[in-house]
Amino acid sequence: MSSFYGVELKSRLLLGTSRYPSPAVLERAVKASGAQVVTVSLRRESGAGRAGQSFWSLIQSMGVRVLPNTAGCHSVKEAVTTAHMARELFDTPWIKLEVIGEADTLQPDVFGLVEAARILSEDGFEVFPYTTEDLVVAERLVEAGCRVLMPWGAPIGSARGLNNVYGLRSMRAHFPDIPLVVDAGLGVPSHAAAAMELGYDAVLLNTAVAEAGDPVEMARAFALGVEAGRAAYLARPMEPRDMAVPSTPVIGKAALGD
């Protein structure tokens, strides 16, 4: 079982809470996914507003652990301040650290990410960095104190799956003892299964479930995909070959030709 800063999770699916058609659908989707961790965020609220309070009540009623994010932060200062606000608000040292560097792809600013990760780790945070599959950046993040790495599969919300399987496989080989989570870009359960077949410890997704025609059923489908991929990884898949190999033995075949 993989350990995320000392927390062992049975479910290897981490689910986002955004973009669902209604709070009721969100609640049912989380239940159907089996997720034990959901990502949450923080946004401005007015004195008259109550949206944040009712959302928090809903999350608490589900009995899941929360992983707050710094979504939308484009600078180290913004991300660090947001992390502090999140730690107090959600009463957890966990932080999904996002420092966005490019508006179209939402690609992480890996330089700012490493800097923010160092500042937060030294301040007692347990950082889940949203990063790329770049091995050198990953090394820097580990040096900065990260004990989990979360490379993207594809740009956030793109549903493109694993854009760089080679890079993700290299990362798994390079960091055999660091829990790795594919975060972002997954669209269908087979993408999640593919990540798990590479030996990843978990996947984190949101939009693929929230914006499915039936989010609850898609949450269940992703849970099955994750489970299938993990089981396949543990069962040690065969290596691909260039040529065909008959699965049915040729020896003993009846001689029926001319």
Nearer to other proteins, 96 or 140 (CB): 96
Nearer to other proteins, 42 or 165 (CB): 42
φ, ψ dihedrals at 216, nearest 5° = -65, -45
Q: 111: closest CA among 122, 99, 96, 120?
A: 99
Name residues whose C-beta falls within 8 Å of residue 196's C-beta, 6 or more positions apart in sequence. 12, 203, 225, 226, 228, 229, 230, 232, 233
CB of 14 to other proteins, least distance (A): 10
Q: Give the binding site for other proteins (CB under 8 A).
A: 16-20, 26, 39-49, 51-53, 55-56, 59, 68-69, 71, 77, 81, 84-86, 88-90, 156-157, 184, 206-207
Question: Could you say which DSSP state residue 147 is in?
Answer: S
CB of 199 to other proteins, least distance (A): 24
CB of 53 to other proteins, least distance (A): 6
DSSP output for 164-203: -HHHHHHHHHH-TTS-BEEES---SHHHHHHHHHTT-SEE
CB of 93 to other proteins, least distance (A): 15
Nearer to other proteins, 47 or 237 (CB): 47
User: What's the Cα-to-Cα distance from 239 to each of 32, 197, 242, 243, rounded to whole Å?
Assistant: 34, 13, 10, 12
Nearer to other proteins, 3 or 53 (CB): 53
Q: Which residues are catalytic?
A: 96
Tokens of 139: 């090394």
CB of 156 to other proteins, least distance (A): 7
Nearer to other proteins, 156 or 193 (CB): 156
Cα Dmax for the chain:
90
φ, ψ dihedrals at 161, nearest 5° = 85, -145
Sign (positive/negative) of CA torsion 165, 166, 171, 172? positive
- What's the CA gap between 231 and 227, in Å, rounded? 6
- What's the CA gap between 58 and 46, in Å, rounded? 20
Q: Return the amino acid letter for 211.
A: E
